[in-house]
Amino acid sequence: MGNVSILGLKVDKVTFKEALGDIESFLNDRVKHLVVTPYAESVVNAQRDSEFLRIINSASLSVPDGGGLLAAGEYLSYQLPKNRWLKVPVAIFYGFLVGFKLAFYRKSFSQIHERVSGTDLVASLCEISSRTGKKVYFLGGGGSEAWDAATILKLQYPNLQILADSGPASLKSTSVEEMDLVIKKINSFSPDFLFVAFSPGEQEKWLSCHMSEINAKVFMAVGGAFNMISGHKRRAPGVFRKLSLEWLWRLLIEPQRIARIYKAVITFPWLVFKYKLSST
């Protein structure tokens, strides 16, 4: 399989099908497995958060949930000339080249070949669980997202054994006793899969902290997957996803996310560009 390092953050070189196969195989192990779904914003956040970076890099599987990671992996594999007068213009040219390939010919990428959507992984793993008798638990979202997503999947897959819990509204204000109750509820169901949707960074740290206490086999940080599956938020149309313009769709329908979008669309490419120039 192998992996690529993007500014120090590990991303596995897996296709969607390979990721599904790897996660299914985790169920047969005697150890617990953490699956993470980093994207461009994750790389930016990891530059300032060493604990978050450590958790991502120690996960059993780190799937590329974003076109930006595909582009960065490809861009960082290119060789720049040693001549200092040529280095910058060639680096800029490579940036435009990779952007074009990402939008129109990403199958030519030599590093990470395919985006692996966390939302699609959750849905597919639930379908597999319905056929194999595995149990699934949804935790997080803060509102009714987890319940609604579970209800929709149960309608699609009647044999699916699934429970959902919105979880604490704020991890920072949740007492130890309240968190113990959350964990006891999970353990009473003893799921094979625990999917957790808290805020970026917090969900990975929460899983890393509590995995040893929870009776589950595969733990996965899923971000906004419950929102997408439940329909609380609309996924970008296919053409936007194909062209890696999900960020533009989000900006159009959720302009309040502009700070996060700026990280992914401006800060992330700039950091990759600077790293490339300094490392060559």
Residue ranges of domains in the chain: 3-65+116-230, 67-114+258-279
Nearest to 70 by CA among 257, 246, 274, 256: 246
Q: Which helix (H) or strand (E) holds 105?
A: none
Instruction: State the fold for domain 3-65+116-230.
Output: Rossmann fold (3.40.50)
Return d(Cα 17, Cα 21) in angstroms, integer: 6
Task: Please give the average per-residue pLDDT across 164-182, as a whole number.
Answer: 82
Position 203 scores a pLDDT of: 94
Position 29 scores a pLDDT of: 87
Position 230 scores a pLDDT of: 87
Return d(Cα 276, Cα 7) in angstroms, integer: 9
Confidence of residue 199 (pLDDT cuts 50, 70, 90): confident
Return d(Cα 65, Cα 58) in angstroms, integer: 17
Task: Please give the average per-residue pLDDT across 180-186, as a whole number.
Answer: 93
Q: Name the amino acid, one letter, at 213.
A: E
Pair 275, 7: CB distance under 8 Å: yes
Position 226 scores a pLDDT of: 92
pTM above 0.85, yes or no: yes
pLDDT at 242 over 80: no
Tokens (6 digits) for 244: 């890696």
Return d(Cα 210, Cα 207) in angstroms, integer: 5
Confidence of residue 250 (pLDDT cuts 50, 70, 90): confident
The percent of residues in the chain predicted with pLDDT above 70, rounded, is: 99
SS3 99: helix
Scanning the chain, the segments in alpha helix (DSSP H) are 16-26, 40-46, 50-58, 67-77, 84-104, 118-132, 145-156, 176-189, 202-210, 225-230, 238-242, 246-253, 258-262, 268-279
pLDDT at 19 over 90: yes
Nearest 5°: phi and psi at 30? -90, -10
Q: Name the amino acid, one letter, at 68.
A: G
Confidence of residue 257 (pLDDT cuts 50, 70, 90): confident
Instruction: Name the β-bridge partners of 33.
Output: 218
pLDDT at 73 over 80: yes
Pair 111, 77: CB distance under 8 Å: yes
Based on its alpha-carbon atoms, the radius of gyration of the chain, rounded to whole angstroms, reads: 19
pLDDT at 18 over 90: yes
Task: Please give the average per-residue pLDDT across 147-166, as a whole number.
Answer: 95
Which of the given ranges, 47-61, 156-170, 196-210, 218-232, has the highest pLDDT on average? 47-61
List of residues 6+ apart from 167 with CB closer than 8 A = 139, 140, 141, 142, 146, 182, 196, 198
Neighbours of 266 (CB within 10 A): 11
